[in-house]
Each structure stands twice: as C-alpha cells, then as structure tokens.
Structure 1
Amino acid sequence: MEASTGLYWLLVAGGAIAVAWVARRRGWPAPLLLVLAGLVVSPLVPSIKLEPELILYVFLPPLLYSAALESSYLSLRENKRAIGMLSIGLVLFTTLVVGGVVHLLLPDLPLAAAFALGAIIAPPDAVAAVAVGRRLGLPRRPLTILIGESLFNDATALTVYRVAIGAVVGHGISLIEGVGEFLYTAVGGVLIGLAVALASGWLLGRTRDALVENTVMLLIPFATYLGAESVHASGVIAVVIVGLYLGYRMHRTGAGTRVLLSSVWKVVDFMLESIVFALIGLQLVPVLSGLAGRSPWEVAGYVLAIFAVTVLARFVWVFPSAYLPLLWLKSAPRPPWQHVVIVGWAGMRGVVSLAAAFAIPEGFPERDLLLFLTFSTVILTLLVQGLTFPTLIRKLRVSSEREEYEDNLSEAAAQQAAVEAGLARLEEVLREEPGDQIHGEVIDMLRQKSERRALTAWERLGGGTGQGGAETPSRLYRRLRREMLAAEREVLVRLRDERRLDDEVLRRVTAELDFEEAILER
C-alpha cells in the first residue's frame, strides 16, 4: 500500500472518529451524522471506492462477533420464532418483492439480476436502530428481535445473492440446487461455528492470562469467518455461533479477562462502526460516476419506487408474522402493536448491502445502475427512517421504565442471594481453618462489605506472609474475599440459567464483582 493511500485511510479514520465524538457529546445518533458527513465531504475529497473484501473480511467479522458476545443467547432463543421470521422469511420475501418490482421497472434486465438486487437490499443493519432504541429506553424484547435479525439476516441474503449472481453470469442452478446450497451454507456455518466455539472455550479455559486471552479473542472472528468461507459455508453464521457461545460462557474466564475484554471491544466497535458509516457517505462520487448519460428523473423514479417497496414490504411481512402464528400458538405472548410498528420501521440498510453491490462482477447487466439503486436505498433508509425513528418511539410512548424497575428488583434479589452464598462460604472457610489464623477485624470487614453491596442494590429501587508464616490481614482478606466472590458469581449464573435474571442484568452485576476481583488480584 502506498504511503498516500495509507495517509488517506488515516484521515478517513480520524475524521470519522471526530464526527462520532461530536455526536456522542451532543447526544445525536452517530451513524446518521457520520453518513451525512460523508455525503457532504465526498465531492471535496479524492474518491475512495469501497472494497467488498475490506468490508466482508475485515469489518464484518469483528462487528458481528462483538454484537454476539454482548447478546443474550437465552433471550435470542426465547424469541427465535420472531427472529427466524425476520432473518430468513423477511429476507426471502423482500428479495422476491423488490426483485419483481425491479423487473417491472427494467424489463430488459434479467429476472435473476433483479433478484440479485433484491437480495442485496434485503438485509437491514440494526446498528443505528439499536443505538437509538437503547438511548431512548426501548423495551428489551424489540431490541432483542432487532439484534437477532441483524446477526443472522446477512447469511440468508448473501446466499441468495450468490445464487442469483451465478444464474446471470452463466453457471445458473435449479431451485432444488439453490435450496441445497442454502442448507449447506447454513448447516456448514453452524457446524464450523460450534467446532471453533468448543476449541476456543477449551483454550481460553486453560490460558488464565488476561492479555493472551483477549488477544486470542481478537483473532477468533477472523479465523472463524475465513475458515467457514474457505469451504463455502456461511462465515456470518459461524462467527455469530462462536460469539454467542463464548458470551454465554464468559463467566468461566478470569475477572481480569472480562474487565479487559469489555474495554477492548468497546474501542474496536467504536472505531470500526465510525469508519463504516463514514465510508457509506463517501461512496457518493464513485457511485454517481457510473450514471453518466441517464435521465436524472428516470433514475429518481426508480430510486423512490424501490425505496417505497422496500419499506412497505417490511410492514407487509412484520404484522402478519407477529400475529398470525398466535392463532395456533395460544401460549405465545401477544406483542403490543407499538412494538411491531417500531420493528417494522427499523429497516435501515447498511454497509453489507453496499459491499455486496460493489462485488457485482464487471460486465454484469446494468451494474452501475444497480450499484446506485443500492446506494440510494441505503442512504434513504438511514436518513428517512433513522432520523424519524426517535420521534416514532416518543410518539408511541414506548418505554422500558417498567423493565428497569423489574431489572432493579431482580438485581437486588440476586445480589441478596449472592451475598448470602458468599457469607455462607465464608463461614465454611472459618470452620475449616484453625482459629489462630483468622483475624477478627478482617472477618468483620468481609461481612460488612457484602452486606453493604446488597444494601446498595436495594437502595436503587428508591432512585504475602506475616510473622511465623501466618497470612497477613491483607492477604487473608483477599483470599477469603475471592472465595466469596466465586460463590456469589456461581449463584448469579445459576439464576441466569433458571431465567430468573436477564443476561443484561447478569453482566451489570458481575461487572462489579469482576472489578473488585481485578483489584484484589493487584
């Protein structure tokens, strides 16, 4: 890579981080501000073409992996029907509807090419919607559904995209072969993901070095994605499986590893997401350059028609898929219509769609037009839906206040149970060890510390060796406190597994234990 190219990428990264910083200070949605900034500066700077390999092999794996690590496997499993209807059913439905409309607008375009555009546009990117939803207190279930959809829909869309592209460029396959390829990529991705997950869990369970473990964690998504794609399986599914597995078993790693892991991935997510959304806006000039000689009004008509169909198709699918299954699933919860509207409007497209469009081979029918239609759809969904998303949440009066109260209540109860387990473990140690090794003031400190933390949780609802080889008080305190922390963490994980504690609350509570344990280790 030439020095000038490297400098340009450095300036892009620096500018994106600066814009994201301004958005954070002002409380604005950073993805939308980054896209707008990219659109504004695109005509003023040298054009930078988005390389599909850069997105699919460098940006996508760590972003998917990080989102999976932070997701709740149990919550995703509880909402698997809704997530599956969106990540598989809606992607296929959008592909067919958009592809059919494109074929009507451009009758000379092969039908398979029209379906390729439908597959490119089909998968939404929930980053912007989730960021806004969390900031405005969107309830957990619609957030979980949006996150789950974004984790798995890329795999469906990219598989259909490959089949459609192959049909156009001359090595087309039958419907049965297409279904077989879809099943192979999905099952292959799951199997490879599980294999890497088990191997990674075994390795991380024996390393016991926070720096080494986090370095391995950084390499896992890239190795998993490359391994799956090398055998034509779904790298997206494989990475998500690994992330969900390791996130679910994260309590088995050391406290220092978890504390460092949280900071590392926050930095990685912030940097990669900032660059990705800035890159979307910066594609304005490269995309427009391929439209020379076309009527602006004609192209604008195509853009508006596809945008409207894309938005409408999501609503047409979301409402029936949310309520029709209740006719035979009597015990299934009935989602509030406000939640369904929010999920229906949260259809912002992202960089994966652009990467797939740029990956269309040269000489493909109407390649430049398809690229522009993809770009315009991504921009319009981000700006129109993204900018109105906060207003929609406020107008529908959707709030997570009740959930927050229940979270605080369950946290306080879990803290109380954990403290009781820790104190019980302390009493066991006191019975096992000779009395002359136990310092009374240390025992009192330990008891007071546990009781104080439990009291704090309830209040949230209202708003070496010493002489003779004996342990020093500080070392004794650290050893006994670690025993108590281990017992408390075991109770918290058990409550999570029994679904009496949500994963998000578990992470919040165990983070306090991890920080304390990290301090003890120092």
Structure 2
Amino acid sequence: MHDNALHGNILLVLGLLFAMLLLVMLGQKLRISYPIFLVLAGLALSFVPGLPIIVINPDLIFLIFLPPLLYQAAWDTSWQDFWRWKRPIGLLAFGLVFFTSTIVAYVSRAMIPGFTLPLGFLLGGIISPPDAVAATSVLKGIKVPRRVTSILEGESLINDASSLIVFRFALAAVVSGTFSWHEAVASFVLVSGMGLVVGLAVAYGFYLIHRYLPTTPSINTLLTFLAPYVMYLLAEEFHFSGVLAVVSGGLLLSHLSHRVFDADTRLQATSVWASVGFALNGLVFILIGLELPVAVEGLGSYSLQQAITYGLIISVMVIIIRLVWMYPAAFIPRWLSPRIRATETSPGWQGTLILGWAGMRGVVSLASALSVPLLLNNGQAFPQRNLILFITFVVILVTLVFQGLTLPALIRFTGVAEQEERMPPEEQEAGIRLRLRRVALAHLAQQYAPDIENNELISALQHRMQAEAQRTGNLLEALDYDETKRRALQRYHQVLLDVLHVQREELFVLRREDVFEEEMLRHQEAQLDLDEAKISHMPH
C-alpha cells in the first residue's frame, strides 16, 4: 500500500510538471504572464470531474519551496540597487505590511460576525505580502525604469519575513487568547535580528567551504542548493526568522561569489538554478488554482456567496491600501529632506502608480493560510480557519489575475517607460565591454611588452583585443539611432549567427567521421553555445 501511494504521488507530481510546462508554453503563445495563466488553469482543472482533490501540506511549501525561491531571488538581487533604494523598500516591506495588517484586522472584525481582533491580524499577516515572481513575470519584456523593478524585488525579499512575523504573533494570540503589543515588538526585533545573524553566519561558513576546500562545479552547485535549507532550518530551530536568514545569507554569498566561483561553476549553477526555480514557481502557481475545492470545503455557517463577498471586499481594500500608502511614502520624505531631493530623482506619479498596482499576492499568502492549525491547544476547532483560507484564495485570485492582466496596459497608459534614469541597457552593455577591453589592453602593454614582441600567440591576443575594442566602439556609434549603422549592425549579427550555424554542421560531420573524442567535440560545441549566447544578448 505504501509503495502504491508513493508511486501515485510521484505520478501526480510528474503529471503536474508536464501540465505546467504545456500551460506555460500556451501562455507564451497567448502572451499571458505564466503565473496568471497557471492559476487560472489550475482553477479550471479543479472543476474537472474525477480529478483528485489535492490537499497541500503547508510544511511542504515552507520547507521545500520557500527557501530555494527566496535564495534565488536574493542571489539575483543587486546589492547596490537594494542599498540604493533601502528607504522605499523598508517603507513597503515593513511599514506597508504592518499598515495593511492593522486595517485588515479592524475592518474584518467589524464586518465578519464572530471575527476577533487577533483573527483579523492573522488574516492581515497572511494577505499583506505581494509576490515577487508574479510582478517580475508580468513586467518581463515590458520597459519600465530599473528603479521600479529594483524596489519591487527588494520589497519582496523582506516583506515575506515581516508578514510571517505578524502571522506568527497573531496565531499565538488566537491560540493563547492573550496579546501584548510590548512583547510582540520586542519579539519582532529579536526574531528579525537573530534571523539576520544566523543567515550571515551560515553564509560565511559556506563561503569558507567554497573558497578553501577542493570543490568542483558540480559540488559547488549542490552546495548552493544546500545553503538555503541549512539557513532556514537552523534559524527556525531557534524560533528566529528563517526567511530573513535565507535572504541575508543569499545576499552575502551572491556578493562574494566572484571570489570563489570559476566560470564553469557560474555557467552550471546558473543553468541549474534557472530550471529548478522555474519548475518550483510553476508548480506553486498551478497548485494555488487547484486549491479552490479545499478553500470552498467546510465554510460552515457561511454561505459561498457571503464568503465571496467578504473576499472581494478585502481584495479591493488591500489594493486601495497599497495605493493610498504609496504616494505619502514616496513624496513626504522628499518634502522633509533636502538631502533626498538632492540625491534621488523624483519617482513621479507614474512610477509610484506602477509600484502601487504591482501588489499581486501569491505563494507565501497561500502557504501561511494553509499552515493555520486545524485545532487549538484545547482540542477545539480553530475558529474561522476555512473562511480565512477562502478569503486568502480570493485575494490571491483577484490581485494576481485582475492586477496582473491590467498592469501592462497601465504601464503603456502612464508612459513610465520613457522615464529611464540611466543610459539604455544596450549602451550600458557595450560601454562595459569597451571598458574591459581597454583595461586588458593597457595591462598587456604594461606587463607583457617583451612577450608581445617575441611571442606570436600573445601578439595575436593583443591584436584580437584591439579588434574587439574597435568593434565595440563602432557598436556604440551604431546605437546613435543612425538607421544606416543600425542596419549594418543587424547584418553583422546575421552573418555571425550563420557562421556559427556552419560550424555546428561541421561538428555533426566530425562526429560521423569518428576521428575525434566525443568529450572534445562537446567542449567545442559548448564554446559555440557561449559565442551564440553572447550574440543573442547583444542589442539588435
């Protein structure tokens, strides 16, 4: 029986993965962001007769899904951007979470019969954090100022921790029947601070392993998967914030990665993490849609119509709360501080509106709602658990689908893409390459002048770098919106890709001739892949 259940679970996971991949491809065809499309598809699948009801173990999401997803987000976050926008990030990640939780607590207590203030704070802590993956997925391919995406990414790293801390204290208040603001604030400082300490300490330990032990790219990649679980479990073992531990540790290791990882490790780890992160995110979003029967089941004394009404009212409320918070948080510090006005450009009403509208809820809210226990300590049923779960589901659905589908149109309406704060990305890329070529040429001329004279290989290296620097300089000129130069640049890319295609075909011929070893042929194929990837990332 146990083996049959195991095989059934494995088959279910594989089936969900395959369905998720097909749905993502269909969503790309329809040009709908994949989190939105997967939630809607999961919702539709939940109505299919005969499909088994999938009950998610919340520990599964918190333990298996959350640490790697948070770690990947922290790893991909720019520390410079995070620190540059620390004030708006902090106001959203802490201020807005507490503001939302408080208003939701008092409104839900007044609106829903039988709802207490601790239950209201519990619901507020559950639905207060927006989902980063949903927002960045919707924004992918749409030109928005880097400031907007940096603040959204930074907010999502921290707000999960602050909302889960609110949730934890509110849950303790419901279970015990008592609540102390003084104890809650003191515990919040302790839980957050020690979470950061644990994350940084574990990260430094992994840094020492990467740097001083004889690792390989495969070992390093596996260690990057172990790190977030060690950070999370160790922090949670001592009742500290596992989320903040993973975030702080991920940021530190990402910042130090250039000292310990070679090119092979970076290429391998990046590819593996991209695939695993995509699979985990996709599974979570399709599972959100499939949870509808669980959310509807056992509403008790509340009718489905009542529950939908409560869910819609609270959904609209959290959208309005975020919009109301955004403008004072964005502009009051500028009015009060001359230093902020001097060092930061104005966010404008457009960028502030986009940030306000990008508050889509997702995986953390669902996991928190599902983790509410079925019973209190005295054995009685946990009050309003099913209603809290249903309201959470409605808030996720409304914010993710309604806001997610309308966000691209809102961006086009505001014209926020025109307000770029730095040079366009293609100019930045070409500028960086030119700077690297020049420093390399200067180093060769200064340190290896005799070798350039006497060693043909090193002389050829200098000539190649000079040619690359010249080509990059021409590329920068071509980006000057000269149509003739742009056409020449496009033709250059076409020719390069065609040459690489011919080389790939020759590799196929070499395989059939069976003269060279397969390992050597694969190595050359990987080099062609790198060359093609380099071209595909060039501006077209």
Distance change in 2, residues 1:302/1:439 (3 Å): closer
Q: Which residue of 2 is the match for residue 320 of structure 1?
A: 328
The CA deviation string for residues 488-520 of structure 1, in whole angstroms up to 9 with x for no partner, is xxxxxxxxxxxxxxxxxxxxxxx989989xxxx
The CA deviation string for residues 186-237 of structure 1, in whole angstroms up to 9 with x for no partner, is 1011111111222222222234522211111111111111111111111111
Q: Which residue of 2 is the match for residue 337 of structure 1?
A: 349
State how far apart, in whole Å, the 1-side matches of 2:418 and 2:450 are.
47
Is 1:50 matched up with 2:68? no
Is 1:221 matched up with 2:228? yes
State how far apart, in whole Å, the 2-side matches of 1:446 and 1:338 are.
46
Q: Which residue of 1 is the match for residue 414 of structure 2?
A: 396
Q: Which residue of 2 is the match for residue 3 of structure 1?
A: 7
Matches within 5 A, 1:331-410: 331-332=339-340, 333=344, 334-362=346-374, 363-399=381-417, 402=420, 405-410=423-428
State how far apart, in whole Å, the 1-side matches of 2:453 and 2:72 are.
48
Stretch deviating more after TM superposition (277-286 or 21-30): 21-30
Q: Which residue of 1 is the match for residue 153 of structure 2?
A: 147
Q: 1:75 aligns with which of 63, 75, 81?
A: 81
Whose relative contact order is higher, 1 or 2, with alpha carbons under 8 Å and at least 6 apart?
1
Taking structure 1 as the reference length, the TM-score comes to 0.85
Aligned residues: 469
Q: Which residue of 2 is the match for residue 93 of structure 1?
A: 99
Work out whether residues 155 and 237 of structure 1, in 8 Å CA contact, stay in contact via their aligned partners in 2: yes
Distance change in 2, residues 1:218/1:11 (3 Å): same
Deviation at 1:146, TM superposition (A): 0.8
Stretch deviating more after TM superposition (109-118 or 439-448): 439-448
Q: Which residue of 1 is the match for residue 434 of structure 2?
A: 416
Q: 2:445 aligns with which of 419, 427, 440?
A: 427
CA RMSD in angstroms comes to: 2.4
Matches within 5 A, 1:149-164: 149-164=155-170
Deviation at 1:447, TM superposition (A): 3.3
The CA deviation string for residues 383-437 of structure 1, in whole angstroms up to 9 with x for no partner, is 1111111111111112168457443334333322221210122224433659554
Q: Which residue of 2 is the match for residue 502 of structure 1?
A: none
Q: Secondary structure at the match of 1:290?
A: coil
Identity, in percent, stands at 37
Q: Which residue of 2 is the match for residue 195 of structure 1?
A: 201
Deviation at 1:344, TM superposition (A): 0.8
Q: Secondary structure at the match of 1:331?
A: helix
Deviation at 1:460, TM superposition (A): 5.7
State how far apart, in whole Å, the 1-side matches of 2:112 and 2:411 are.
37
Work out whether residues 199 and 247 of structure 2, in 8 Å CA contact, stay in contact via their aligned partners in 1: yes
Is 1:298 matched up with 2:316? no
Work out whether residues 42 and 290 of structure 2, in 8 Å CA contact, stay in contact via their aligned partners in 1: yes
Work out whether residues 202 and 249 of structure 2, in 8 Å CA contact, stay in contact via their aligned partners in 1: yes
Is 1:135 matched up with 2:141? yes
Q: Secondary structure at the match of 1:135?
A: coil
State how far apart, in whole Å, the 2-side matches of 1:249 and 1:453 are.
32
Deviation at 1:278, TM superposition (A): 0.2
Q: Secondary structure at the match of 1:102?
A: helix
Q: 1:238 aligns with which of 232, 245, 264?
A: 245
Distance change in 2, residues 1:257/1:400 (3 Å): farther
Work out whether residues 228 and 238 of structure 1, in 8 Å CA contact, stay in contact via their aligned partners in 2: yes
The CA deviation string for residues 172-194 of structure 1, in whole angstroms up to 9 with x for no partner, is 44211111111111101111111
Which residue identity lines up with residue 279 of structure 2 in the other structure? M
Which residue identity lines up with residue 28 of structure 1 in the other structure? I
State how far apart, in whole Å, the 1-side matches of 2:533 and 2:443 are.
20
State how far apart, in whole Å, the 1-side matches of 2:282 and 2:210 are.
30
Work out whether residues 20 and 38 of structure 2, in 8 Å CA contact, stay in contact via their aligned partners in 1: yes
Q: Secondary structure at the match of 1:399?
A: helix
Distance change in 2, residues 1:38/1:227 (3 Å): same
Deviation at 1:445, TM superposition (A): 4.4
Work out whether residues 311 and 391 of structure 2, in 8 Å CA contact, stay in contact via their aligned partners in 1: yes
Q: Which residue of 2 is the match for residue 257 of structure 1?
A: 265
Q: Which residue of 1 is the match for residue 491 of structure 2?
A: none
State how far apart, in whole Å, the 2-side matches of 1:258 and 1:389 are.
34
Distance change in 2, residues 1:392/1:515 (3 Å): closer
The CA deviation string for residues 347-402 of structure 1, in whole angstroms up to 9 with x for no partner, is 11102111111111112111111111111111111111111111111111121684
State how far apart, in whole Å, the 2-side matches of 1:403 and 1:325 are.
20
